[in-house]
Structure 1
Amino acid sequence: MTSKVKSEVKILKGQDAENKVLDYVKRINRPYGAVDISANLKGAVPKPATQKILLALAEKGKITQKTYSKSTFFVANQSDCDVLPENKVKVLAEETDALLESNKTLTAEIKTASAELARIKSTPTDSELVAQIEEVESKVTKLRAHLEPLRAGTPLFSTSELDALDSEWVQWRAEWVRRRKVFYNFWALVSDPLSQPDAVELAEDLGIEYDTPEHLQVERGPLCVVALAQAQASSSKRR
């Protein structure tokens, strides 16, 4: 079994205990209960003795006793506290103002240093820069490889591939034109009984989007005109 370590705090009694408690209350100059004062004195004055001493000091008028609800607090008499002379208060006020101004300066310096630190942290390291440069050089090499056929005049698509693309474009555009015609016919049946405002409101509720001027311009462009001619030629052949 481990032996208990004896406390090195000397237990005060009598006048020594009273002087200790009174000195502490005056020095701290804030409300405390007996339990807190005894604890803050590290047990030099036991709790029961502290309570008795505080009550006795309050009866003698050396300290003030205040009761809040079921708790009792003791505080030094404010009339007995030393009052600083006006010149000393002025000096302390000037020192406070100087410290506040210095604090503002330091705060600004910290803000600037923090911003600089954030900038430095966001800057790539040497190893990261090397990796980024290698990545960019690799992309450049690949892009140059893609450009070589163009520089040499080599067609990117064969004639058969272009014909297949044109055929597919004509096919699906003709399908789009057909479906648009079906929509317009159906919409005419639905909207004819309605007034113009009601028809517009219904179209908005259904999320219908009409061709924009840009769409119409594309329709009148060479791409769609050629597709239309090819579709008509294909239709004539089938007949």
Structure 2
Amino acid sequence: MSKSKDASAARAVLEYLNRQNRPYSAVDIFNNLHKEYGKTAVVKACESLTEGGKIKEKVYGKQKVYVADQGQFPDVDDNEIRNMDARIGELSTQSQDMDSQVKRLDAELRGLNSSISTEEAVLQLKRLTDECEACKGKLKTLMEGGKTVSPEEKDRIYTARTKYVKEWRKRKRISNDILGAILEGYPKTKKQLYDEVGIETDEDYGTSPPEI
């Protein structure tokens, strides 16, 4: 490697160590400089800078680390350090508060994004209003003795009722079987299980599947 390249690597290493002001191994410096200089060049730069007294070398077993010469930096007043620590504490608290605020705003934004728009709400309101008016008209006709249900519609309604009542009974039976199996090994009462799981029964509302 040319002398100019060696000098360039040495300048880069020195500037990096002075700027970071913390210990690094030659490999760390090589990686942190984004491998702009070869590993051999970085090692040679560290050694030459150490020999020139521009950086300090610390040896820990087989590991060598390099750090900026602390003599070039001004002394730091203890009060200044304490003030900086206090400021760090304040900024950390502010950061936590901001994180909490960001989470709250994110949750609020998700809620707003999942809500329907004003235009959609207006259209939905109109549709429901029209349905309500139609139901009122149908109810008025029925109360006045009018016939608005055709035989075909009546049969369809009764068929649907039978289907839904059968499904109600079927699902109630399956649910009871499952809960019965759970209760066999459950250490508490049925009511406690239902409360913990959040189960609401027909009996809670004073109802039961009607006769078909």
Scaled by the length of structure 1, the TM-score of the pair is 0.44
Scaled by the length of structure 2, the TM-score of the pair is 0.49
